């Protein structure tokens, strides 16, 4: 694009740019926006969807060029969107919206399902758009999250159609053919941030329906509409999980009450001291703990199977059951030699699978293994150092050794945190290096890496106590303190601190009045911290679930504590995402991805750990001795029980289908129609 | 169909029926056959495909009616096939062939893939037939097995379009609307047998390429063409399995040789006596058995994963990768209330899934459990009785008690055989009662039921010795005798006896000369016994595989013996199916069905059993004692090893994809094209 072209584009924009900025509200009229390229998309009202924040040093010619690029039709290599230059051509904001045609085409490309005139959800087809409900009203047809994601999707997908110098930038940022423009702009410092805008009215409605009142059910459909399906899946999983905790919680209360252990356990967990010496004497013959353990092992499988069914229904309702990411363009970071994709027949970068697998096997796996090894090493070092200072303290009991006592813990915490930080960067680079074609595959592999590390990091100590030290009382003490204090700390760091920071540090700079110009409101949003993603939320649930399923038999009240925690967690998480952060982009997804697998794996590992813990329990050992069973035979029967439970779990998970019957039928119907259509089409190609 | 109509049809047929029967050979010309209903199917040459043998008492008017029914177009409720009355209208044979149109339409209905002009295998579409290679020459386009199966498929699918009296039969056999005609005819004794005809020339070529010479590879494509994909899958699995036995066989030989146990083991297995007293002394420190066991556990998973990949490639090559049985008409035995199928939109009997599941859970499962219980009970009774007669024999050592010694074994064998016979009938009725919609589902459920029973029946004694008696030497003795003698007995009963019967009892009545009329050759085929199905063949392999994977560590030469056995097994099975039986009907299938699952399950069970056996081995116990490990700790490490191995196996089976990359890409390409075609089609329906 030469200078003349850039100026010309800028001139177009300037004409509108001088209108009042207050018109930029959701009811703003056309002035100020770039022109749409097709007549059907002309509308009175343009909704500001996404805000692009430019670098301070970006010159007006670059901004004009960028606006023109965003507004240019896709056939000319543009994004086919609508751009508004904000205050004027020299301001540091660009507000982006999307015309109808671009939205509809992207809807087809993403494979979203929408309500067809037959009343079913069907994969949207641009050519057949008139048969879809509300396809003339974008604000009804697509959810806010979808519209905003599509804008991001189009911006991310911008590629230089030929070698191109960006006006106002140094020559080193010259674009080569097929370079990803948006990535280049980011690395050149032209765009600092791209984020979706909150819709204040909708947000208010949502928060009222979600966490302000005493409602039992969450407004999941509205959450999906406003934040997108990943957030909605997280919250529906959180809700489903919380209610699923009721049966084990009730059982836990009953067992604790009837076995008369309630006072002791509470006392123990609060005081943190070991009051288990008397346990062996007063205990009844058949342990409630065993009942609890077997119940919770089977419960976890049934829970996960039912969740999968619910997840499939939700995915159908939200139109994400037939996402076609693997047929769409590869994600921006993907690189490879240009070639013809054998599946879609399009020319795009290709990267052989075996090479990716090789990289995973030879690079990622050893590196991840190394870090996991470091975690274990760190733990061993901690135990060694602790034993050492204990010894020192016993030998020379003085002030210095007293202080030394806490050194190992401090060092261990420092080491662990440092390791976690380094690991996150490493995991990111490794996953980049694996060069996944689809964004979802990238995210799943990244999540899986961090997840395994975080999990091991969290559970290493507990596993050490349970399997190596074989010290059930200590495990119980640790578990209780983790359950109670970690949850409190989590809630505080996750919600209270951001809330306080927001209220007393950020908010004073962000006083907002009703008559503020719209643009300032937008600018205010950019001062909020970006949403850190759902990883932290999910890992918290996974760790909880780990406490519950892996070690529940040593502390039957786990489910009760988790139930209480999660009831507040739903509200605090909802508050957090609504109020404390910028609105995040979320792509449409069909399920929880790798998290589902993680929960399932955990549910199987729990059998091993529970059987082991039951075996360790002094009561069982005593019972065995009384009945004249050798410790070998006791172990043998524990192994037998474990195998039977695992087989039962496998059978349960096979017997309960992963999707409800009605969804299976709809899916098969689509397969059948596709097959018929393919036959038909071949014939027509032939005839024409 | 009234009397007049029947006569009219008979008249048509009679005209041709008087031609010489020798013309019925593969090069026969049209006379004698019913007329084809569409002009494109008229051909000089009609290939006799299937023979229908009528009951002796069937009158000529019934035969004429039947011939007319077979020849009538499908729109008039006929089978759309070609029928030849044989000798004359009163003979007891009908020879059936199929015209081009019926074959092609059925090919589409079954979802068979054929070579498209693009060079790929694509699902055949009747309307697009001209773009498929050889679609004008049925003998090239469809395999013999497919053509014959399609004839059976059309005959089985015959349904009365309205209430109908069959000429020459009693009123009780009057057909109601939608009754299955072929089933009714069978129950009325009109048709005694329906079986496909051998093609002598092709059979000769096949047998020469298959088992006559010393070829290493089997002509699998020809087997698929002649007998159909189930047989071809069986033989390719047998071949693949046999070659896969090489690594464990070599390892077994090496271990036996280097550990110097070869003489002892051979002596032991042949003499059947226990020579293990000296084992504990002379054994080396690290047991080859352990190496063998770990190797065979991992080997079995890798073998199954590679087989799945091979199976997918074969299925692609044979055009059975996209079978659409679930979209076709239900199988003849299926019943239910008429309704609209939500998937295909056709009116057909429907039967709710939950009702089938209920029947399986509440009827099939308890009944199967009962029979398994009876097997175990029988075994316990046998041991009890044996102990009793042993005692008696010791107390009064005389002739009578000597004879009594074999009574328990005889009774047990009688009981087991009786039970197996009863169980087969019960399994058949149970599966009928479960009312499966698809033939393949029916077969899989039936096979699974019989399979579990037969397997337990075969292994109950071995498991009893291994897990209850914990007597490794006895297990080794049993295993060796089973391996050697059972294999020999199998080969004898499977091949030698049928061969002798055929040669000396049946064959003299079936002397066949080159100049015999074709019809007599056909009649001769009907005197052969019907092929008993592949169940016996597969269960033999599964039991073998069970010996190998479950107990290989006690007898390292298992793989060698199996390898030798299977090399002859390939040939003898091939000879058997080619020469000793009628040609069987086989539907096209995409894989081994439930057998694949059975082999996989066994491969996982093998980890448990091998770890257990290793633990029992006196050498390990001794090693443990020397190293100061308590039996508990030894058991614990065995459990640990077992868990690690199971996890490794799970990971291997996840990491090795079930289909090769190139097939995945082709499949995804088809999915993509179908999706596109569906969108296109909706639009066109809209426009028209």
Interface of A with B (CB under 8 A): 108, 111, 122-123, 125, 127-128, 130-131, 324, 326-327, 342-344, 353-354, 608, 630-632, 635-636, 639, 643, 661, 665-666, 668-683, 686
Alpha-carbon distance B341 to B343, whole Å? Answer: 5
B268 within 8 A of B279, measured Cβ to Cβ? no
Per-residue pLDDT, A25: 44
Per-residue pLDDT band for B28 (boundaries 50, 70, 90) equals very low
CB-nearest to A677 from B353, B665, B680 is B680
Three-state SS for A529-588 is: CCCCCCHHHHHHHHHHHHHHHHHHHHCCCHHHHHHHHHHHHHHHHHHHHHHHCCCCCCCC
**Contact between B423 and B451 (Cβ < 8 Å):** no
Chain centre distance of CA B237? 12
Q: How far apart are CA B292 and CA B251, in angstroms?
A: 7
Q: Mind listing the pLDDT tens digit for each residue in A335-359?
A: 888 888 888 888 888 999 899 999 9
Q: What is the pLDDT of residue A506?
A: 63
Q: Do the Cβ atoms of A674 and B677 come within 8 Å?
A: yes
pLDDT for position A316: 93
Considering only CB atoms, B632 lies closest to which of A128, A324, A635, namely A635
> Taking CB atoms and an 8 Å limit, are A125 and B679 in contact across chains?
yes
Q: Which H or E run includes A195?
A: strand A191-196
Query: What mean pLDDT value characterizes chain B?
Result: 82
Interchain proximity B683–A108, CB inside 8 Å: no
Residue A281 is predicted with a pLDDT of 41
pLDDT tens digits, one per residue of B302-353: 999 999 999 999 999 999 988 888 888 888 888 888 888 888 888 888 999 8
* A686: chain B residues, CB-CB within 8 Å: 128, 130-131
The answer to whether residues A67 and A31 touch, using CB atoms and an 8 Å cutoff, is: no
Residue A146, pLDDT above cutoff 90: yes
Where do runs of H (alpha helix) occur along B18-99?
60-71
Instruction: Give B452's contacts (C-beta < 8 A, 6+ positions apart).
Output: B368, B372
C-alpha distance from residue A340 to each of A343, B121, B486 (Å)? 9, 20, 56
Provide the edge-to-edge strand list for the sheet that holds A82-84: A82-84, A93-97, A50-54, A191-196
Closest to A678 measured CA to CA, from B680, B441, B505? B680
Give the integer Cα–Cα distance in Å for A294 and B471: 32
In chain B, residues with a C-beta closer than 8 Å to the C-beta of A125 are 679, 682-683
Q: Which of A678, A684, A688 to mutate to test the interface with B (most CBs of B within 10 A)?
A: A678
Q: How far apart are CA A64 and CA A6, in angstroms?
A: 7
Edge-to-edge strands of the sheet including B82-84? B82-84, B93-97, B50-54, B191-196
- Per-residue confidence at A89, pLDDT binned at 50, 70, 90? low
Least confident of A143-147, A382-386, B212-216: B212-216
Chain A residue with minimal CA distance to B673? A678
Q: Quick one: tokens of A532?
A: 């850190």
Q: What is the pLDDT of residues A286-340, one digit of tens each?
A: 567 788 888 888 999 999 999 999 999 999 999 998 888 888 888 888 888 888 8
Q: How far is B321 from chain A (nearest CA, A)?
A: 14
**B76-83 mean pLDDT:** 87
pLDDT in tens, B439-462: 889 999 999 999 999 988 888 888
Give residue-wise pLDDT tens across range A208-245: 888 877 777 889 999 999 999 999 999 999 999 999 99
pLDDT at B683: 65
Contacts of B111 in chain A (CB under 8 A): 675
B100 with B115: CB under 8 angstroms?
no
- Residue among B437, B675, B688 with most chain A CBs within 10 A, to mutate: B675
For residue A682, the chain B residue with the least C-alpha distance is: B128
CA A295 from chain center: how many Å?
30
Q: Which residues of A touch B668 (CB under 8 A)?
A: 326-327, 343
CA distance B636 to B641: 9
CA distance A669 to chain B (A): 4
SS3 B343: coil
Name the pLDDT band for A430 (thresholds 50, 70, 90).
very high
Q: pLDDT for B585-615, tens place per residue?
A: 999 999 998 999 999 999 999 999 888 888 8
**Nearest chain B alpha carbon to A343:** B669
Chain B hits for A612, CB-CB cut-off 8 Å, are none
Give the distance from residue B266's alpha carbon to the nearest chain A alpha carbon, in angstroms: 34
Could you give the CA distance from residue B316 to residue B320 in angstroms, rounded to a whole number? 6
Domain boundaries, chain B: 3-197, 220-330+457-656, 664-688
Q: Which two tokens stand for residue A667?
A: 């899916």
Residue B229 reports pLDDT greater than 90: yes
Q: Are the C-beta atoms of residues B322 and B670 closer than 8 Å to each other? A: yes
Q: What is the mean pLDDT of residues B425-434?
A: 95
Sign of the Cα torsion B580, B581, B583, B589 reads negative
For residues B18 and B88, the answer to whether their CB atoms sit within 8 Å is yes
Tell me what pLDDT residue B377 has. 92
Q: Collapsing DSSP states into helix, strand and coil, what is residue B140? A: helix
Distance between CA atoms of A437 and A332, rounded to whole angstroms?
9
Q: Contact, A666 vs A120, CB < 8 A?
A: yes
CA-closest candidate to residue A334, choices A326, A324, A343: A326
- Measured between its terminal Cα atoms, the distance across chain A in Å is 40
Q: What is the pLDDT of residue A216?
A: 77
Q: Kindly list the residues from chain B whose CB atom is less than 8 angstroms away from the CB atom of residue A631.
A: 630, 632
Cβ–Cβ gap B343/A665 under 8 Å? yes
Task: Report d(CA A432, CA B667) in Å as an integer.
Answer: 27
Closest CB to A679: pick one of B128, B327, B676.
B128
Q: Are B581 and B196 a contacting pair, CB within 8 Å?
A: no
- Please give the full DSSP string across B155-198, using - where no structure is assigned: HHT-B-SS-BPPTTS-GGGPBPTT-BHHHHHHHTTSEEEEEEPP
By C-alpha distance, the chain A residue nearest B128 is: A683
Q: Which two tokens stand for residue A452?
A: 């395994």
Buried b (16+ CB within 10 A) or exposed e, B649-687: beeebeeeebbeeebbebbbbbbbbbbbbbbbbbbeeee
Q: Measured between alpha carbons, how far is B149 from B147 in angstroms, rounded to an integer?
A: 5
Among partner residues B128, B342, B681, which is closest to A669 by beta-carbon distance? B342
State which of B285-289, B578-582, B586-590 shows the largest mean pLDDT.
B586-590
Strand partners, B83: B96
- Select the residue of A125, A608, A636 nearest B682 (Cβ to Cβ): A125
Instruction: Please provide the DSSP assignment of B346-384 as one string.
Output: -EEEE--HHHHHHHIIIIIHHHHHHHHHHHHHHHHHHHH
Is the backbone of residue B470 left (phi > 0), alpha (psi -120 to 50) or beta? Answer: left
Residue of B nearest to A608 (CA): B643
In a mutational test of the B interface, the residue from A361, A674, A685 whose CB has the highest number of chain B CBs within 10 Å is A674
| CB nearest B681 (choices: A343, A635, A680) | A680
What is the per-residue pLDDT for A30? 60
Q: Say yes or no for a CB contact (<8 Å) between B130 and A665.
A: no
Closest chain B residue to the Cα of A666, Cα to Cα:
B343
Asked if B145 and B227 count as a contact pair (C-beta separation under 8 A), the reply is: yes
The answer to whether the Cα torsion of A524, A528, A530, A536 is positive or negative is: negative
Q: Do B678 and A353 touch (CB under 8 A)?
A: no
Which residues make Cβ contacts (< 8 Å) with residue A102, sequence separation at least 6? A41, A74, A79, A80, A81, A150, A154
Spell out which residues of chain A touch residue B669, defining contact as CB-CB under 8 Å.
342-344
Q: What does pLDDT average to over chain A?
A: 82
ipTM: 0.84
Query: Number of CB pairs < 8 Å for A and B?
Result: 114
Interface list for chain B against chain A, based on CB atoms closer than 8 Å: 108, 111, 123, 125, 127-128, 130-131, 324, 326-327, 342-344, 353-354, 608, 630-632, 635-636, 639, 643, 661, 665-666, 668-683, 686
Query: 3-state SS string over A214-240?
Result: CCCCCCHHHHHHHHCHHHHHHHHHHHH
Closest chain B C-alpha to A124 CA, distance in angstroms: 8
Q: Which residues of B touch A344 (CB under 8 A)?
A: 669, 672
Do the chains contact at A682 and B130, CB–CB below 8 Å?
no
């Amino acid at each position: 694009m030469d200078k003349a072209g850039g100026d010309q584009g800028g001139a177009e924009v300037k004409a509108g740019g001088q209108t009042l900025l207050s018109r930029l509200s959701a009811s703003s009229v056309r002035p100020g926006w770039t022109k749409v390229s097709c007549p059907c998309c002309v509308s009175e009202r343009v909704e500001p969807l996404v805000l692009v924040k430019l670098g301070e040093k970006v010159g007006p010619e670059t901004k004009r060029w960028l606006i023109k690029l965003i507004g240019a039709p896709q056939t000319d290599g543009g994004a086919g969107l609508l751009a508004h230059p904000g205050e004027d051509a020299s301001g540091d904001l660009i507000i982006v919206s999307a015309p109808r045609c671009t939205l509809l085409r992207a809807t087809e490309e993403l494979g979203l399902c929408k309500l067809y005139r037959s009343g079913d959800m069907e994969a949207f087809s641009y050519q057949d758009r008139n048969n879809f409900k509300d396809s003339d009203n974008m604000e009804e047809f697509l959810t806010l999250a979808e519209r905003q994601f599509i804008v991001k999707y189009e911006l991310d997908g911008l590629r230089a159609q030929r070698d191109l110098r960006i006006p106002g930038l140094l020559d080193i940022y010259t674009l080569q053919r097929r370079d990803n423009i948006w990535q280049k702009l980011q690395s050149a410092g032209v765009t600092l941030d791209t984020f979706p805008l909150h819709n204040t009215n909708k947000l208010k409605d949502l928060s009222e329906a979600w966490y302000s009142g005493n409602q039992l059910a969450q407004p999941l459909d509205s959450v999906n509409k406003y934040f997108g399906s990943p957030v909605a899946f997280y919250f529906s999983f959180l809700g489903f999980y919380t209610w699923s905790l009721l049966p084990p919680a009730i059982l836990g209360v009953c067992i604790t009450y009837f076995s008369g252990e309630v006072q002791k356990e509470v006392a123990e967990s609060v005081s943190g001291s070991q009051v288990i010496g008397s346990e062996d004497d007063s205990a009844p013959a058949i342990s409630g703990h065993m009942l609890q353990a077997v119940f919770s092992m089977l419960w976890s499988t049934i829970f996960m199977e039912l969740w999968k069914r619910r997840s499939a229904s939700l995915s159908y309702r939200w139109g994400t059951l037939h996402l076609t990411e693997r047929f769409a363009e590869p994600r921006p970071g993907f690189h490879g030699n240009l070639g013809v994709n054998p599946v879609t027949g399009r020319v795009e970068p290709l990267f052989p699978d075996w090479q990716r697998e090789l990289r995973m096997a030879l690079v990622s796996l050893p590196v991840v293994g190394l870090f996991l090894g470091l975690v274990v090493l760190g733990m061993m070092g901690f135990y060694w150092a602790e034993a050492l200072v204990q010894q020192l303290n016993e030998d020379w009991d003085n002030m210095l050794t007293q202080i030394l006592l806490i050194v190992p813990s401090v060092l261990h915490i420092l080491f662990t945190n440092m390791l976690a930080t380094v690991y996150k960067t490493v995991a990111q680079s490794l996953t980049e290096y694996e060069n996944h074609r689809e964004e979802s595959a990238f995210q799943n592999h990244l999540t899986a890496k961090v997840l395994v590390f975080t999990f091991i990091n969290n559970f290493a100590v507990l596993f050490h106590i349970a399997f190596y030290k074989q010290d059930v009382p200590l495990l119980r003490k640790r578990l209780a303190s983790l359950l109670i204090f970690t949850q409190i700390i989590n809630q505080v760091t996750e919600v209270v601190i951001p809330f306080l920071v927001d209220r007393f540090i950020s908010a004073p700079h962000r006083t907002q009045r009703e008559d503020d110009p719209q643009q300032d409101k937008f600018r205010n949003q950019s001062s909020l911290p970006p949403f850190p993603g759902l990883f932290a939320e999910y890992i918290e649930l996974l760790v909880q679930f780990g406490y519950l399923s892996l070690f529940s038999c040593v502390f039957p009240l786990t489910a009760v504590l988790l139930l209480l925690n999660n009831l507040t967690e739903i509200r605090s998480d909802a508050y957090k995402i609504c109020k404390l952060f910028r609105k995040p982009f979320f792509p449409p997804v069909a399920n929880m991805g790798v998290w589902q697998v993680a929960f399932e794996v955990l549910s199987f590992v729990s059998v091993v750990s529970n059987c082991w813990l039951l075996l360790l329990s002094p009561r069982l050992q005593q019972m065995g001795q009384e009945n004249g069973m050798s410790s070998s035979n006791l172990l043998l029967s524990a192994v037998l029980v474990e195998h039977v439970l695992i087989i039962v779990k496998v059978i349960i998970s096979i017997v309960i289908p992963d999707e409800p019957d009605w969804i299976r039928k709809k899916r098969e119907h689509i397969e059948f129609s596709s097959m018929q259509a393919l036959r038909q089409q071949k014939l027509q190609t032939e005839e024409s």
